[in-house]
Structure 1
Amino acid sequence: MPASDLQHRPAEAADLPAIVQFPQSAEELFYCFPRARWPLDVSQLASAMAERQDSTLILLDRRPAAFANFYQCQPGEYCALGNLMVAPWARQRGIAAHLVGLMEQRAREQHQARELRVSCFNGNSAGLLLYPRLGYQPYALVERQDWLGRRVALIQFSKALS
């Protein structure tokens, strides 16, 4: 999808009812927001936004299509991307890649970050295929538990920002 077809802006409280509809299952919610309880609601997302930085919304045809933020920023060092989610109707159109690129730019320009970090659970095939394609390299593997208490692997990736 050409970037010219997409718009972006800071996410606002009025966007939250649409964004909480993006995850379609407890599994999808776990991949984008592991600490949240299914189903995602406005109060959970509002709390996360209050604790995080640069909550960003991608619009396609003026409809909320994707969302992400930074859950951690160390200015001059790195930012860590979180809550990346795409509306079901907007998937498979390159919007996630566009949003990651936008967040890379924000990390560089607003936080002088030299690196962007992302984490992806082993069951999230879409993410595991996306991040290496965008130049991210795995650097750590951490054991976690999923929403049902099962052992899962969290693969941590990073990319140098130039």
Structure 2
Amino acid sequence: MPSRQSINDEPCPVARAANVIGDRWSLLIVRDAFDGTRRFSDFQRSLGVARNILSNRLRKLVDAGILETREASDGTAYQEYVLTPEGKSLFPVVVALRQWGEGHLFNHGERHSELVDKRTGKRIPFMAPTAKDGSVLTPDLTVVQKVT
């Protein structure tokens, strides 16, 4: 069986990103980090994930530069996991997944969490890729230029 191509040789940005954050636990860890979760035990409590899996995913996210470890802000001996600027730049990805889930995975009127603007208390508007002129881009209006 041929060996898997090195992810660093992969010309597709989606494939490289999926290698780092493309599994359920990694995405949910990033989601929880945006919600303010910082400690191993708090991630475990929130996610209900096995310790070994959580440890593996946290280490992978730290190695990828998405999270960094810091001494606990309360002065205890614990360490905290904090989003780096690279990790914070995943916010639109998490929002896009959230909005897709809201639009396709809930029945009309079914209760679910909502993302709101802290300043206004209002739900954030739907996020969509736009052209320079502000018009919404759809898949049929874009094309991937393959590396040759």
Instruction: Name the TM-score, length of structure 2 as normaliser.
Output: 0.36
More helix by share: 2
Instruction: Name the TM-score, length of structure 1 as normaliser.
Output: 0.33
More strand by share: 1
Larger Rg: 1 or 2? 2
